[in-house]
Amino acid sequence: MKDWLTAREIAAEQLPDMPATESAVIRLAKREGWEERSSQARTRAGRGGATEYHVSLLPTLAQVAYQQKHIVIQLPVKPARPAPDTSLTDRAQKERDARLAIVAAFEKFSRSMQLGYATRVQVFTDKFNAGSLNIDGWVLEIIPSLSKRSLARWQSQKRDGRVNALAHDPAKARKGTGVLETANGGAVSAFILALIAHQPHLSGHHVRTLCRSEFGDTLKVVSKGVETAIPMPPVRTFQHTLKGLKESHKVELLKLTNPDRYRSHMAPAGVGMLRHITEPNQLWQIDASPVDALCTDGRHAIYACIDIATRRTVWLLSRTPRASAVALLIRKAILEWGVPDVVKTDNGSDFVARDTQRLFASLGIEPETSDAYSPEQKGHVERVIKTFQHDMATLLPGFVGHSVADRKAIESRKSFAQRLGESDASVFGVSLTGPQLQKHVDDWANLVYQHKPHAGLKNATPFAAALASTRPVRKVDERALDLLLMPVAGKDGRRQVTKLGISIDNKYYLAPTVMHGTAVFVRMDPNDAGRAYVFAQDGAEFLGDAICPELSGLHPETIVRAAKEMRGELIDERTRQLKADMKKIAKGAPLIERALEVARRDAPNVVALPKREAAHSTPQISAAIEALGERINPSKPLDPAAAAAHRRLIEEMTRQDEAELFARTDAKLQRRQDEIEALRTAHLPKDTNVVALPETPKERYRRAFFLRQRIEAEEPVIAADAHWLGGYELSPEFKAQQGMHDDFGDAYLS
């Protein structure tokens, strides 16, 4: 809508209260002095130089008629709203956009009207409701009528920046307020949701019947704060509720009812999680899948290995999934690309088999296993297998289809053909053998796939990506690789060398270069049943060959004689120096003298203090003493009185011995105390009257502390000091001093 018009354009509009000719409009403008209003009159740019007048100069009725004729209510070219909000439904976003369009149209209408706000709102809403405005159909469909109050509220929300408050979805507003959604405090809705999760094919009639079994014939609902009982709703209500629950909980229901579809359609994909893999052989992924085509010898499994950084692939066909196929795939890839750092697999038995893990360990490859039922963790190899199935397998004779529906149709055709006596080969057109199919797969990988631009490589080809890398390739000798791929003896290859040899499948293999009792790891030669290769138990050292006389075609006596000679030479070589050392030992001093000499050097220089003794007696000891007395003089047995006197005599002698012992010990302690006192007073002048102060409790504690340190350090101490320390540590003075030491720390000893 134009806001500036010439006299000719105003006359052409035929507006009320305005002249119908250009000259009349010019005369009106002169009378009203429009040209003198510089802000509302201007000279038109371009040829002619006519004067343009702003529509606000027109009479009110003419302005309204002009606005009504030209204003258009539609979505603005640049709406004043944020980016699409995924939290809003489609209906709510349309409602918001329609209200924004009406608010924008009113603001444009108001800019050219010299009227009050209330008058502008009244005129605009009247014209809107009367259908006099040029309104887009989708706006009128959402908002068929307009009130002054609604328009004012929408303006306020837009002005405050609350644009999403303009959104409104009537269906969402009513969501969760139905009878079955709120009945019994939500228990009915939860029960229905559990029913359809347990059995998705239940109908509304089935669900209503099961709800009657669970909740009875009435339900409790709350209306305006009052709980009331209502009869069980009809089947139609249950059908509507089922539809709403399946729509609002479709993700959860799909996760519970069809985990595979949820994982492929709704689970997070984790795009770009391996962007840090930038060098060849940094990470490989391997997996297997049945080929969507038949061979003359049946259906094969295809093993795929993909290098993540370059997207190169190596393929191997196997009649059945097994660990040996994984080993051959790794061999083929290593010979072409080199040794990888990490190989990622799933939890299939052929990938986590002991032989496969042993091969990875022998080659220094770090195995990495994805979580169970998580194919997305190795999505690159899953995707390349799908590419193979849809790009190459479709072209193969004997193609059996990709999906279950395809296979059902083919199986039906097969069953019908078999009834007619036709073979599988004639029904499916099978003509390739396994080796022929392997050649076709290798040619497809080398000629087609690796030269096709790849989106994950920024449209570079796998061949070009591998060629651009400067990372050194770690190569392995083919013969060493073949040896590491040889089958092991038994389940784990671990054996023990005995005097008869190494037992393998009830046969004995002689290994003359390996000593008796050695634990070894054995690999079998697939081309010679009578030969095995013996390694150290960790596989890091080759110990020698092992020959089975029965399977090698050689005479057992010859083999045994040769083995004995080799073993004898080996033992002689190993014992030659040992015998010389034994002679040197025999010429020296006897071993007992050497041992006692060392014991003397190690004996501690400490004298044990005598222990206090106390007589210990029991009825049995007393009886033994009495028997001993009878044994000394058996002809004159002691009577009870004499025996009692004898016991008293022994006890008295024991007490006297103890008293003497204590007296001797006290004398030693007194002498030691005198020595210590002499040492304390040695520095004092003898010709003075200076008297040494007696030893304080703190000094005694310090002396006890350093004595204890010397004893704990196993340094020699005088027996009297040790005896004094044992008694002093039991005294109250020591405990008090020790408490002060704990409080003040080592500074207390200074």
Task: Please check whether residue 427 lies inside any domain of the structure.
Answer: no
Tokens of 59: 């009479």
Same domain, 123 and 201: no
Same domain, 207 and 284: no
140-158 per-position pLDDT tens digit = 888 888 898 988 888 888 8
Residue 712 above 60 pLDDT? yes
Same domain, 392 and 282: yes
Task: Please check whether residue 371 lies inside any domain of the structure.
Answer: yes
pLDDT-derived band at 78, boundaries 50, 70, 90: very low
Same domain, 246 and 368: no
Per the model's pLDDT, the better-predicted residue between 314 and 200 turns out to be 314
Residue 307 above 90 pLDDT? yes
pLDDT-derived band at 139, boundaries 50, 70, 90: confident
Q: What amino acid occupies position 189?
A: S
**What value does the mean pLDDT take over residues 672-689?**
60
Least confident window among 47-56, 461-470, 673-682: 673-682
Per the model's pLDDT, the better-predicted residue between 664 and 66 turns out to be 66
Same domain, 197 and 258: yes
Residue at a domain's end among 521, 544, 573: 573
CATH number where 39 lies? 1.10.10.10
**What value does the mean pLDDT take over residues 290-316?**
90
Per the model's pLDDT, the better-predicted residue between 68 and 545 turns out to be 545
400-455 per-position pLDDT tens digit = 777 666 666 666 656 555 544 555 555 556 778 888 999 999 999 999 999 999 98
CB 331: neighbour CB atoms within 10 A? 20
Residues 6+ apart with CB under 8 A from 569: none
Residue 55 above 80 pLDDT? no
Same domain, 316 and 451: yes
Task: Please check whether residue 340 lies inside any domain of the structure.
Answer: yes
At residue 524, the pLDDT reads: 82
Same domain, 147 and 253: no
Task: Please check whether residue 569 lies inside any domain of the structure.
Answer: yes
Task: Please check whether residue 550 lies inside any domain of the structure.
Answer: yes
Same domain, 310 and 437: yes
Are the beta carbons of 192 and 210 closer than 8 angstroms?
no
pLDDT-derived band at 600, boundaries 50, 70, 90: confident
Residues 6+ apart with CB under 8 A from 94: 138, 142
pLDDT-derived band at 366, boundaries 50, 70, 90: very high
At residue 453, the pLDDT reads: 93
Same domain, 569 and 520: yes
Are the beta carbons of 489 and 333 closer than 8 angstroms?
no
At residue 672, the pLDDT reads: 62
Task: Please check whether residue 443 lies inside any domain of the structure.
Answer: yes
C-alpha 316/C-alpha 331 separation (Å) is 11
Residue 375 above 70 pLDDT? yes
Least confident window among 560-574, 583-597, 726-740: 560-574
Residue at a domain's end among 573, 603, 632: 573
What pTM, to 2 d.p., does this model score? 0.46
The string of DSSP letters for 105-148 reads HHHHHHHT--S-HHHHHHHHHHHHHTT-SEE-HHHHHH-----H
Same domain, 226 and 212: yes
Task: Please check whether residue 704 lies inside any domain of the structure.
Answer: no
**What value does the mean pLDDT take over residues 178-191?**
85
**What value does the mean pLDDT take over residues 678-696?**
60
Residue 77 above 50 pLDDT? no
Residue 265 above 70 pLDDT? no
Residue 658 above 60 pLDDT? no
At residue 494, the pLDDT reads: 86
Task: Please check whether residue 60 lies inside any domain of the structure.
Answer: yes
Residue 353 above 80 pLDDT? yes
At residue 195, the pLDDT reads: 87
Q: Which residues form the domain of 31?
A: 4-70
At residue 81, the pLDDT reads: 47
**What value does the mean pLDDT take over residues 681-703?**
67
The string of DSSP letters for 541-597 reads SEEEEEE-HHHHTS-HHHHHHHHHHHHHHHHHHHHHHHHHHHHHHHHSS-HHHHHHH
Per the model's pLDDT, the better-predicted residue between 419 and 238 turns out to be 238
At residue 647, the pLDDT reads: 66
Strand partners, 502: 509
Residue at a domain's end among 70, 86, 119: 70
Considering the chain, what percentage of its residues have pLDDT values greater than 70?
77
Same domain, 138 and 206: no
**What value does the mean pLDDT take over residues 319-334?**
85
At residue 693, the pLDDT reads: 64
The full length of the chain comes to 750
At residue 632, the pLDDT reads: 46
At residue 333, the pLDDT reads: 93
Same domain, 284 and 360: yes
> Number of folded domains in the chain?
5
CB 123: neighbour CB atoms within 10 A? 19
